[in-house]
Structure 1
Amino acid sequence: MLGWDKNQKEDEENASSSSIASHTISKSQPRQLKHKVSSLTHGHFFSTSSAKPIAELPNSKDPQSLTVSFLQNSCGLSLESAISASQKLNIDNPKNPNSVLDLLSTHGLTQTHIRNLISSRPLLLLADLENTLKPNMELFESLGFSGTSLAKMLSRDQRVLESDAYTVVEFFRARGFRDEQISTLTMKRPLLYLLNAHKIFKPKLDFFKSLGLSDLEIAKLLSTAPYILERSLENQIIPCVQELRRILGNDENVLKAIKACCSMVGFNVEVVQPNISMLISHGVPESLVLKMFLIQPKFLLVRTYRFSEIVSDVMKLGFDPNSLLFVWAIRVMAVMSKTLWEQKVEAYKKFGLSKDEIYSAFKRQPLFMTVSEKKIQKSMGFFVNKVKMKPSLIPKNHYLLLYSLEKRIIPRCSVLQLLISKRLIKEDTSIFRAIRMSENKFMEKLVSKYQNEVPDVVRAHQGKIEFQGFHIDLKM
């Protein structure tokens, strides 16, 4: 049993459930219905080969019986799902449904993908193959969708296959969207393909252009937050921009804020002014608040009661309201829940750090707490176990956790390890200084300088030599 294919096992279970269903109904239903259900539970199960022709199914003049049999045997649906789906369509000729299944399979969809797709939208089997379904599948393939990526996109809205996808894609292309951006937009919001592009999208793109955004900037912003295209222009987008203009004073600042956080035009920005007033009442200079708003506007979109809690917590930690760090601390705490904050604190504590050490590091650099819980565990584990660094040194050098472990820290440690083993650099070389060096300076001083003498130093810098750990105590 352990060697079975997962889909095969599911099909075996479906067969068993079909048999049980037939037995159960036979006890309580009339003879005519008993014969009908019995006919549904025979035939071939869904296979990776081409769809089974209807001729292989039991002879029956009942359209629903034929439909249920096809959904079971050719699409892999369970008896219960097939009966439910048969209420929405009748398959009296299997030619189009078989062609639909073949087309889906051709584009990389597996048995499981197809079964889920047909279960959600059985009417897809009767779609216009030549004029709609096939052109749409080819269009989505040109955007990079096939197999798993296609299945993931379709799981969000199957109706996209029956939409006028070509018109929508050509609309975005004509407006300067690159295919990669259209692909991103499609994956995030396939629902957009069900809307009238010229009637619903064009006025919004024209409005953003009237604000001073270029076609390229609009494409970048909307592919990042495509749900904005579903928002009402008159009731949400325009009032939002008007509120931002009132708060920020001029259109130049509004543009800066939208570019920094385009999704804000999809939010209710009425909370911004109360939050700004709260910061000012705690002694934060208005110029500093506006500066942060233009850099990271999203932190001011937090609901006022939660924002009040955050400001209170930051004050208790001893941040100076006149300092940029005060606003940065609020920004960091505003983008994570209390639960996530505590999880990160616990992750640090597992490596021997005290709560005071963690909060001291946060006060020196609030970005210390933006590191994901997974990266905390991975990076702390590397420095403590591989580099043999005292845990207390890490929060004092918070940047260690902000750099990429794979792309920067491990390769540089490998270079140091190699050069020390060749006695080309001193054993008291500072690992902190080596990690903080700019890439150009590191290449000049520790890679290019020694690559003729030790060719492997280049491979080490490329991450192709495994770091084994230092055999001596490096200067920290």
Structure 2
Amino acid sequence: MALLLKPSSSLTQTLISSSSSTSLSTNPNFSAISYPSFHSHGGKQPKSLLSTGAATQSNTISYSNHHHMLGFLLLFQEFGFNDKEIEALLERNPVLAYASSKSLGNRLLLLKSVGLVEFAIWRLITRHPDILTAEEFDGFLDFVRERLEGIEPRKLERVLIGMEPRFLVGFAEKVGLLVEHGVPEEKLVDFINSISLSVFCRREAEEIERLMVFFKQFDFSFILRRPLLLNLDLDTQIIPRIQVFQEELGGEEEAVKILLRKLPRILSYSVEHFQDQIEFWRSIGLSKGEIFKIFLVYPGVVGVSKERKLKPRVEFLKECGLNAKDIYRFLTKAPLFLSLSFEDNLSKKLGFLVKLGYKRRTRELAFAMGAVTRTSCENMQLVIGVFLSYGLSTEDVFAMSNRHPQVLQYNHSSLEKKMEYLIEEMGREIGELLAFPAFLGYKLERIKRRYESEEGG
């Protein structure tokens, strides 16, 4: 007699009472498999995904094999599903009713073997029940288990939940293209973890190969540093962005390659973003060649906020009396001025310079600010302290830095060694530095060789 399972009944209780005279061990499906021990959710029943009062379909599901169905129920209940959730799974994917407990158990074990925890598998099955029966998942999961150990479980879960099974076919071939075109085996998992797996699976193998070949012409190493670029579309995103540098700014191919190698993520910005930045620099009088040069010297400038940093910093330079040509020369030597924090960095250095004797809104102050962008506030203080400890006054330090602003950015430790050698070994006067502060820019080894050579001669 066929067993009728009604939504309002307790499935397990009905089956057990109907099968009380038969030993479970007589069921070949149930006895042949060692079920995975899924003690899900710390022994607590997960909240049903069906509303308590939700109406279920009036259709009844008929099964002729009590023991097969009991094995099915026990397998899912051990995994944390309650009766209503099991009924919902069967309604959404009736094929489950005809799958053997062994095949279902094997699929559950396979899901666990790729790093998914019990609750993640429960969530996955609830949202995507055909994960247990669709053949397309087998090849994908087997490949992940064998070749991609260490792939992030959350990334894997998102793909399995949101991806149509057909997009998983050919996954191994696509990953093979990555290795074929230069992704080292030992970095493969990290590379996969860094890209959008959903985009990668949906993309045709031919398109992935086009991307890899295209990136190779710009030195493939930069794609290893920025795997996320593989998420971009070649024709609508990557090529148009590169064309901005080549066509709108006149960058030559080799120069563009250097730019991309310096900052691969520059391709993550949209054409509109580039054009907005270019328009800003043109508005202050820079030519397209000068703009490209600034990008080449400091590619990170494309990510600097125009409103919060670029406009106020350029306005500061203008107030100090710098024209467009001056600003261009300043930024090619001190590009960090555009991105450093004002509150935590530039404001403190500005205060030191004013105390040292620099006047506000002067060219001298601007050039001194450019020099000290390359050093920390702490080192700058220590440098001034070294000068003062050797008997120089603040006026002397101001005069030296005004003549040669770089003296404020030298490492304080090496600076002290040079001054000690100048006075104690060479027997020179400290005041001589006022006339030639650039002396402190030479390496100590060079100073020693030059002095010893002259003494020996």
User: TM over 0.5: same fold?
Assistant: yes
1:266 matches 2:336: no
For residue 195 of structure 1, the aligned residue among 245, 269, 283 is 269
1:87 matches 2:139: no
Amino acid at match of 1:128: R
* TM-aligned CA deviation for residue 257 of structure 1: 1.8
Once residues 151 and 311 of structure 2 are traced to their aligned partners in structure 1, the CA distance between those partners, rounded to angstroms, is 46
Do 2:330 and 2:367's aligned partners in 1 also have CA atoms closer than 8 Å?
yes
Cα distance change on mapping 1:365 and 1:149 into 2, 3 Å:
same
SS of 1:248's equivalent in the other structure is coil
Q: Which has the higher contact order (CA 8 A, sep 6+)?
A: 2
Cα distance change on mapping 1:117 and 1:165 into 2, 3 Å:
same
Do 1:248 and 1:290's aligned partners in 2 also have CA atoms closer than 8 Å?
yes
Aligned to 1:186: 260
Give 5+ residue unaligned stretches, structure 2: 1-33, 41-73, 80-104, 115-131
Amino acid at match of 1:191: R
* TM-aligned CA deviation for residue 165 of structure 1: 0.4
Once residues 235 and 318 of structure 1 are traced to their aligned partners in structure 2, the CA distance between those partners, rounded to angstroms, is 42
1:246 matches 2:316: no
For residue 106 of structure 2, the aligned residue among 19, 35, 44 is 35
Aligned to 2:306: 233
Once residues 65 and 367 of structure 1 are traced to their aligned partners in structure 2, the CA distance between those partners, rounded to angstroms, is 71
Aligned to 1:138: 213
Once residues 165 and 118 of structure 1 are traced to their aligned partners in structure 2, the CA distance between those partners, rounded to angstroms, is 20
Tell me the TM-score normalised to structure 2 length.
Answer: 0.56
* TM-aligned CA deviation for residue 272 of structure 1: 5.8
Cα distance change on mapping 1:204 and 1:297 into 2, 3 Å:
same
SS of 1:88's equivalent in the other structure is helix
Aligned to 1:385: none
* TM-aligned CA deviation for residue 85 of structure 1: 3.2
Deviations 1:251-298 (A, max 9, x none): 4533332233233233356876875564454456899x8458548814
Do 1:299 and 1:331's aligned partners in 2 also have CA atoms closer than 8 Å?
yes
Once residues 359 and 61 of structure 1 are traced to their aligned partners in structure 2, the CA distance between those partners, rounded to angstroms, is 86
- Cα RMSD, aligned residues only: 4.8
SS of 1:109's equivalent in the other structure is coil
Aligned to 1:53: none
1:125 matches 2:196: no
* TM-aligned CA deviation for residue 114 of structure 1: 2.5
Once residues 253 and 422 of structure 2 are traced to their aligned partners in structure 1, the CA distance between those partners, rounded to angstroms, is 50
Structure 1, 235-244 or 175-184: larger mean CA deviation: 175-184
Aligned to 2:285: 212
Deviations 1:368-416 (A, max 9, x none): 5775xxxx8xxx6xxxxxxxxxxxxx6545x69xxxxxxxxxxxxxxxx
Do 1:68 and 1:82's aligned partners in 2 also have CA atoms closer than 8 Å?
no
Cα distance change on mapping 1:35 and 1:200 into 2, 3 Å:
same
* TM-aligned CA deviation for residue 194 of structure 1: 2.9
- Decide which structure has the larger Cα Rg and report it: 2
Tell me the TM-score normalised to structure 1 length.
Answer: 0.54
Cα distance change on mapping 1:310 and 1:230 into 2, 3 Å:
same
Cα distance change on mapping 1:268 and 1:40 into 2, 3 Å:
closer
Do 1:176 and 1:215's aligned partners in 2 also have CA atoms closer than 8 Å?
yes
Once residues 328 and 335 of structure 2 are traced to their aligned partners in structure 1, the CA distance between those partners, rounded to angstroms, is 9
SS of 1:116's equivalent in the other structure is helix
Do 1:66 and 1:92's aligned partners in 2 also have CA atoms closer than 8 Å?
no
Once residues 248 and 274 of structure 1 are traced to their aligned partners in structure 2, the CA distance between those partners, rounded to angstroms, is 22
Amino acid at match of 2:337: M
Amino acid at match of 1:123: S
Once residues 369 and 229 of structure 1 are traced to their aligned partners in structure 2, the CA distance between those partners, rounded to angstroms, is 32
* TM-aligned CA deviation for residue 83 of structure 1: 4.1
* TM-aligned CA deviation for residue 243 of structure 1: 1.2
Amino acid at match of 1:69: D
Give runs of aligned pairs for residues 162-177 of structure 1, distance below 5 A.
164-174=237-247, 175-177=249-251
1:101 matches 2:172: no
Cα distance change on mapping 1:203 and 1:81 into 2, 3 Å:
closer
Cα distance change on mapping 1:65 and 1:305 into 2, 3 Å:
same
SS of 1:87's equivalent in the other structure is helix
* TM-aligned CA deviation for residue 360 of structure 1: 8.3
Cα distance change on mapping 1:125 and 1:303 into 2, 3 Å:
closer
Give 5+ residue unaligned stretches, structure 1: 1-22, 44-58, 381-393, 401-430, 434-473
Aligned to 1:318: 391
Do 2:245 and 2:251's aligned partners in 1 also have CA atoms closer than 8 Å?
yes
* TM-aligned CA deviation for residue 222 of structure 1: 0.5
